[in-house]
Structures are given as structure tokens and as C-alpha cells.
Structure 1
Amino acid sequence: MPKESAGILLYRKRLSRLEVLLVHPGGPFWARKDAGSWSVPKGEYPADEEPRLAAVREFREETGYTPSGKFIQLTSIRQKGHKTVHCWAVEGHFQPEELVSNTFEIEWPPRSGKSKEFPEVDKAAWFSIPEAKEKINERQVSFLEELERVVDQR
């Protein structure tokens, strides 16, 4: 059965410009990757958890911030590897310098027999939509485009 993830696309309007908050994955594999590696804060959830609540939980675990307000459900996508990602947009005012992420442990360096702990998310930043389209995982670009349409209609 394909895996499912849920996430939050936090946005704000700054000087009439729409900006979104994206996160960069932590750990050695992502350390030198930038364009195409950023993402909405998201994560997998069990079948018995409501997806929107999972999205809020994952956002909090990855950033230390709990989004609240009017949640706008965006059209789900399928990423490479066939994972379905459900996403909600919500307006918010997170400060990236206050990022507090949960961690994971892996063997590092490889085949060393030693474990090392890394943050699941090593940085967060606000981006304009054109900047975000360069930074975000290519399959998530549709979230940005849909958010632009929804916010323009409001």
C-alpha cells in the first residue's frame, strides 16, 4: 500500500507579496543540496490519524511552531516513490530563527558502526513564490501554484 504524508504550507503576505515557509531536510545526505530539496513541513501518518491533524502535528514536530487559523485544503499530489502528500495552506508568522526540530539517528559515517543524531529539518526560510519554485521538490510546485490562485481570489 502506498504511503501517505500530510503537511502544512504556511504563508504570509509581506508588502503585498505572497511568501511561503519551506524547510530543508537535515542529515548528511541533504547537507550540500539546495535547489529542489526544500519542502513543505510534512510527514507520514498512520491510517487511524486524521490527515489534517497529522499535518499540524508534523509541522510542530519539524519546526516547533503550531499553525492555527483557517486551513485551506490543497489538491493532493503523488511524489516519486508513489507517496501521496496531502497539504493544507494556512496563514502564519513563524520566525525561522526559532526553528526547533525533532531528530533522527543513523549510522554515520556509513559502515562505521557509530550512530549520530541529526535534526529532521536543519533550516527553514520564507521565500517568494518564484524563489520557492526553484527551492521546492518539483512535485510540490503545484501546491505553490494553487495557493497563488486561492489567495488571489480572497
Structure 2
Amino acid sequence: MLLVHPGGPFWARKDEAAWSIPKGLVDADEDELTAARRETREELGIEIDGLFQRLGEYKQPGGKIVIAWAVEADPDINVEAITSNTFRMEWPPHSGTVKEFSEVDRAGWFSLPEAGRKIHKGQRAILVDFTRSQAPRA
């Protein structure tokens, strides 16, 4: 499973339960799948093609709803070569200094057990549904 680690100073020293699926907001002029594909492109710097399967909607601890998709991707995607979009924020807090950070500072391929340890707790249900979606049909 491909996960991304959020950039910026808040996540810099966090690893376990800090990773995420690529995600973001749906723009007014796009559908959910178009948004998922755009966010993946923005956060990884690559286009992922294939047959996308909607896994479901997941409410995060902060209240945000994440709609997750699964797609079989090339395992040869070079996670060392990702290029992410950036965001700006005041850092350090209350300093008046605005700095720019990568939205994603790294990506990685993980087995499902590893992903279960790495992924943010609010997204663990995605792994359960993904596992169910991959189970052989009787």
C-alpha cells in the first residue's frame, strides 16, 4: 500500500500513526474521483492510472470526511523521486515569519500490517475495507 507522510514542522518527528493516503478537498467543479486523482498527482508528482474502486467514506477525528479509493498501481513507482505541492504557514508560531513546506515530505510502500502501524488512526478503517475488497469472491 502506498502511503504519504505529511510535510511541515508538526509531523517532522512523527512516524507511527502519522502517514496517510493522498487526500485533499474536492473542488466545486470536480467529482470525487477527479479530486482524488488530482490530489494524488499534486502530492506525488505523478499520474496514477487504472481502474479505481471506491472503498467508502471515513470520518476523521477532526470531523473531516475522507472518501477513499483503491487502484492497482505500478509497484516500481520511485517513492524517492516524489515531488509534492507546497503550503505556506507562519513558523515558528507567532513569529511573523511565513515559511513554505512540502505538503508531503516522503512516500512509501508498506505491507498491510506495516500500513496498519503507519497510517493515521482515523484512516485505519480504510485498510479494513481495502482488505475486504481484495478477498476472493465465492
Q: Same fold (TM over 0.5)?
A: yes
Matched, 1:146 2:129: yes
- Tell me which residue corresponds to 1:120: 103
- Mapped partners of 1:129, 1:32: distance in 2: 23
Deviation at 1:146, TM superposition (A): 1.5
Read off the aligned partner of 1:108 and give its amino acid letter. W
Partner secondary structure for residue 37 of structure 2? helix
Q: What are the ranges of 5 or more consecutive residues in structure 1 without an aligned counterpart?
A: 1-19
Per-residue CA distance 1:99-135 (angstroms, 9 max, x = gap): 1000011111222221111000001000100010011
Alignment of structure 1 residues 2-151 onto 2, 5 Å: 20-93=1-74, 94-151=77-134
Counting aligned pairs with the same residue, the percent is 53
- Mapped partners of 2:48, 2:79: distance in 1: 14
Q: What are the ranges of 5 or more consecutive residues in structure 2 without an aligned counterpart?
A: none
Q: Normalised by the size of structure 1, how large is the TM-score?
A: 0.83
- Mapped partners of 1:82, 1:55: distance in 2: 19
Read off the aligned partner of 1:109 and give its amino acid letter. P
Deviation at 1:152, TM superposition (A): 2.5
Deviation at 1:68, TM superposition (A): 0.9
Moved over 4 A (4+): none
Q: How many residues align?
A: 135
CA RMSD across the alignment: 1.2
Q: Normalised by the size of structure 2, how large is the TM-score?
A: 0.92
